Structure 1
Amino acid sequence: MKRNRVPSLVLDPVRESLVTSSGALLIKEAIRVADLDRGLSRALSTWRPTRATHDPGKVLLDVATAVALGGDCLADVAAVRAQPELFGTVASDPTVSRVFTALAADVDDAVAAIRAVRADARAAVWRRRRPLSGTPGTRSGGQVIVDIDATLVGAHSEKQGAEPTYKRGFGFHPMCSSIDHGALGTGDTGVLNLRPGRSSAWDSADHITALDDTLAQLPESERKQVLVRTDTGGCSKAFLRHITNLGLHYTIGFAAKDSVRIAIETIPEQAWRTAIDSDGEARDGAQVAELTAWMPSTSRTGTSDDWPPGMRVIARRERPHPGAQLRLTDHNGWRITCFATNTKGPGWTLATLEVRHRQRARCEDRIRGLKDTGLRNLPFHDYAKNRIWLEVVALAADLLAWTQTLAFDDHEPARRWEPKRLRLRILAVTGRIICTGRRRRLRLPRDWPWNQLIDTGWTTIHTT
C-alpha cells in the first residue's frame, strides 16, 4: 500500500496580515442591501449615552455577525474585532457588556425596536429577491408558510427563568417561529420568544403571541396568503379560532384521541386514498382519508368553546417500519396520524394537503440551525439579557438566510446549506487584503474548492 506522506510543519513565529473570515464579505453586502447598520443605529439611539464612542446599533450588529460566524457568547466578538480591515472598529468586551445591560434595563422597548428594524430589513431583502416562488399573495407557490414550534434549551447553572422541563431536563422552553422558503432555500427566522422551562408546549396564548409577532415581521404585501403550520402542540380551539378570525389558512397536528378512533372505525374502506411523497409519487403502504363527516363535533359553530367553522380533519395511515414501537392509537396494524386544516378548493387533494403538512419537518431543520447559531446555550444569568440575546440569535440567523437568498440563484445547492456547512465552505476562508489601483481588494486562496461560489455570490448581490 502506497502512503501519501505529508511534509512535517513547524510553527513560524512571523505573523502576516490575513482576514480569517473572508467569506463574511457576503454578509457585509447583505447588511448593506438590508440597510441594517443605519436602521439599528437609528432604532437604538435612545440607548446611546451622550459621550459614548460606540454606537449601540453597531455593537449589536457586530455581536450578531460574530454569532453568524459561529460564536456563542459575547466574548466571541473578539474574532470580529481582530479583523478591522473587514468589519471596522469593534467595541471592547466591557463596552459590549454595558450595551447589553442598558438594553436589558428597558427590555420590552429594546426588543420592539430591534424587531421593527429586522422587519424593515426583511422587506428590503424580499424586494430585492423574494425567497419564495410564485406570485406574492397567491396559493400557487406564493403562499407564505409560518412554522411555529417550541424547543428546549438547557442551562448548566442557576439562571433566571431556568426551570425543570417536561423532558426532565433543566433550562428554558422558548417558542420559535420560522418562515419557510420551501424547496428554494432554508428559511427566515420569525421570532424567538423566551419562556421559562416549565412553560407548556400546548399553551394557546403563547402560540397566538408568536403568530402575531411573526405576522408583524412579514412585509405587508405578504400577509394576504399565510399558512400557519404547527404540530399537535398548537391544536387548541383558541389558537385555531384566532387563525380563522385573521382569515389565514392552517395545517396543524390533531391528536388521535377517542373521537378520531371512533371515526376511523366507522369510515368505509373505500374512503382511503393513496398517499404521495414530496416528489408527487405514490408512497408505498401509506393512505389518507378525511374524517370530518364522521366527527360531528368538529362542525359545530355555536360558541367560542367549539372548533372553528370550516375545519377539516384528515388522517394518514401507514404500516409501521420493522422494529417500531406500537401505539395505543394504532388501528389494525396501521400507524394513525391526523392533522386539521381549513384549506379547500381545486387542486388541494387529500394527498397534497398531507404532503404539505408533513413538510412541517423543515421547522426542525430551522431550529437545529438556530442551535448552531447561538441558541444552544443562553449565556447570561439575567432573564432580560437572555431576551436580548435571542434577538441577536434571530438577527444572526436572518443574516445567513438573507446572504444565501441574495447571493445564490434558485438552482444553487448552497442556497439550502445549513449554517455549519455554510461557515465551513464559504465564510471561514482566509484571504489577504491588498491595495492596488487605488482600491482595496480581497484575494482568496488559489485552490479553495468553493471560490466560484464566493465569486458568483458577490456578483449576484451587486447585479440582481
Structure 2
Amino acid sequence: MTSPTGALTLRPHIAHWAEAGVPLAATLLGGTEDPRQNMVEILDAAIAALPDGVEHIRTRWDAGYFAAALAQACIERGVSFAIGAKRTRPLMAAATHAPDDAWVPAIGMEHTEIAVIGYLPGTWPEDAGIRCIARRTRIPVEMIPTARARKRRTIPAAQLTLALDGLVDAVYGYSFILTDIDLTDPEDAPEDERGLALAEVEYWYRHRTDIEALNKDAKHGTALRHLPSANRAVNTVWMHAALLGCAIAAWTQELASTDHGNGRGRFTVTRFRREIIRTPARLIRQSRTILLRLPPGGHLLEIVLPRLQALPDPSG
C-alpha cells in the first residue's frame, strides 16, 4: 500500500499479554487495510502463545476491531471480551434516552458516568449475555473541542447544535463498549457500591491505553517505526525481530526482579539496551576465577546479571 507521495505505508497490529507486558502475536497490514480481516487469526495466535496454566483470558479491543465475527470467535473459544463500539446513530440515541438513575460514577474520571444501555447490533449473538456500556463525560460549552478534534465526534449532533447556538451550557461526550463480562453486583453489595462491578470493567477496558506505551517502546526502542524495505515479507521479519527485542527486554527485567512484578515499572527498551546490553566490560582471570570487570560507577548490569545467574538451570 502506498501513500499519495509513493511511500510505502504499513501498520503493525500487535496482541499483547497485558499483565506481563510482552507481545504475543502480530501481523503487518497496509495503512488503509481493514484490521478486522485477520483479527481471528491474531486471536488464535495470541492464545497459542500463552503459557500453560492460564485459566481464563479476557481481551480488550479498540473500536477498529468492532465486528460480530470477533465477538462470536471469542465466545466459541471461551474468551471474555470487551470491544469498543462505533458511535452510530442508534447507539447514540440509546445512550441519550437512558434514565438518570441508570448512570453511576466512573472510576478515576471527573464529571464522567457510565451505564448499561439497551443496545445490541443486529448481527451480534443475542443469547451470549452481551451488554453495552455507555460512558458520558460532561463538557462545558467553553471547553467543546475544535471542529478538527476527534473528541468533538463523541458529542451527539443535536446537543452540539444546541450548545453552539447558546441554548445549553454543557454537552456530553459518549463512548461505548460491548462486552460479555459479568456486570452484576453481589447481592449483598451496599447501596454506596451500586454499579461497582460495572465501573471496574469500564476502568479495566479504559486502561487498554497501557498497551500504547508498549507500542511506543517498540517504535522507538527497537526501530519498529521505520520499516526498511519495499518488500512486505522483509518488513514482516523486521517487525517480529523488533517485537522479539521488546520481549527479551521485558522478560529479562521480570526474571531479574527490577520491575514491579506485574508488567509495570520497567525500563524502556532504549534504556535497557544502553545500560545493560551495551555496558562496556571485559573478562579477567583472578585466582583461577573468571570475573567480569565493569567500568567505574553504578551499572544496572551489576544488579541484573547476578540475579539472572542465581536462577535455577531450566534443564534441571
Q: Distance in 1 between matches of 2:299 and 2:224?
A: 30
CA 420–414 in structure 1, closer or farther in 2 if over 3 Å, else same: farther
**Equivalent residue of 1:351, what SS?**
helix
Higher strand share: 2
Q: 1:439 aligned to 2:289?
A: yes
* Correspondence for 1:195: 29
Distance apart, 1:194 and its partner CA: 1.9
One of 100, 113, 130 as aligned partner of 1:311: 130
Q: Which residue of the other structure, out of 163, 174, 188, is the alignment partner of 1:336?
A: 174
Q: Which residue in 1 is equivalent to 2:270?
A: 420
* Alignment equivalent of 1:358, drawn from 192, 199, 206: 206
Percent identity of equivalent pairs: 24
Q: CA deviation at 1:231?
A: 0.6
Q: Secondary structure at the residue paired with 1:219?
A: coil
Residue of structure 1 equivalent to 2:112: 286
SS in 2 for 1:220: coil
Q: String of CA shifts for 1:86-122, please: whole Å, max 9, x gaps.
A: xxxxxxxxxxxxxxxxxxxxxxxxxxxxxxxxxxxxx
Matched, 1:258 2:89: yes
Give the aligned partner of residue 144 of structure 1: none
CA contact (8 A) 1:163 1:198 kept: no
Gap change, CA 1:328 and 1:419, over 3 Å in 2: closer
In structure 1, what residue type is equivalent to 2:251?
Answer: W
- For 2:222 and 2:301, how far apart are their aligned partners in 1? 24
Alpha-carbon distance, 1:462 to partner: 5.4
Match of 1:59 in 2: none
Q: Distance in 2 between matches of 1:318 and 1:456?
A: 50
Q: Is the 8 A contact 1:173 1:199 kept in 2?
A: no
Native 8 Å contact 1:226 1:248 kept in 2: yes
Cα gap change, 1:462 to 1:324, in 2 (>3 Å): farther
- Superposed CA RMSD in Å reads 2.9
Aligned residue in 1 for 2:40:
208
Instruction: State the distance in 2 between where 1:437 and 1:449 align.
Output: 24
Could you report, residue by residue, the CA deviation over 1:127-164 in whole angstroms, capped at 9, with x for unpaired residues? Answer: xxxxxxxxxxxxxxxxxxxxxxxxxxxxxxxxxxx423
Q: Distance in 1 between matches of 2:82 and 2:286?
A: 57
Q: How does 1:48-447 map to 2 (within 5 A)?
A: 162-164=1-3, 170-181=8-19, 187-201=21-35, 203=36, 205-222=37-54, 224-277=55-108, 283-291=109-117, 294-295=118-119, 297-298=120-121, 305-307=123-125, 309-320=128-139, 322=143, 324-325=145-146, 327-331=152-156, 332=159, 333-344=171-182, 349-371=197-219, 372-408=221-257, 411=260, 415-447=265-297
Q: Secondary structure at the match of 1:314?
A: strand
Q: Which whole-Å deviations, capped at 9, do the CAs of 1:409-433 have from their partners, x for residues lacking one?
A: 5547985222123233333322222
Post-superposition offset of 1:449:
5.5
In structure 1, C-alpha distance between the alignment counterparts of 2:2 and 2:312, rounded to whole Å:
48
Change (3 A) 1:274 1:463: farther
* Structure with more helix by fraction: 1
8 Å Cα contact 2:58-2:80 kept in structure 1: yes
Residue aligned with 2:83, SS:
strand
Whole-angstrom CA distance in 2 between matches of 1:320 and 1:427: 48
Mark the CA change 1:375 to 1:411 in structure 2 (over 3 Å): closer, same or farther: closer
Contact 2:255 2:308 in 1 (8 A): no
- Tell me the matched-pair count: 281
Q: Is the 8 A contact 2:260 2:266 kept in 1?
A: no
SS at match of 2:283: strand
1:20-63, Cα deviation, whole Å (9 max, x unpaired): xxxxxxxxxxxxxxxxxxxxxxxxxxxxxxxxxxxxxxxxxxxx
Greater relative contact order (CA < 8 Å, ≥ 6 in sequence): 1
CA distance in structure 1 between the aligned counterparts of 2:179 and 2:16, rounded to whole angstroms: 19
Distance change in 2, residues 1:410/1:171 (3 Å): closer
What CA distance in whole angstroms lies between the structure 1 residues aligned with 2:145 and 2:252? 41
Amino acid at match of 2:13: M
Q: Given the two structures, how large is their TM-score scaled by the length of structure 2?
A: 0.78
Change (3 A) 1:391 1:316: same
Aligned-partner residue type, residue 270 of structure 2:
K
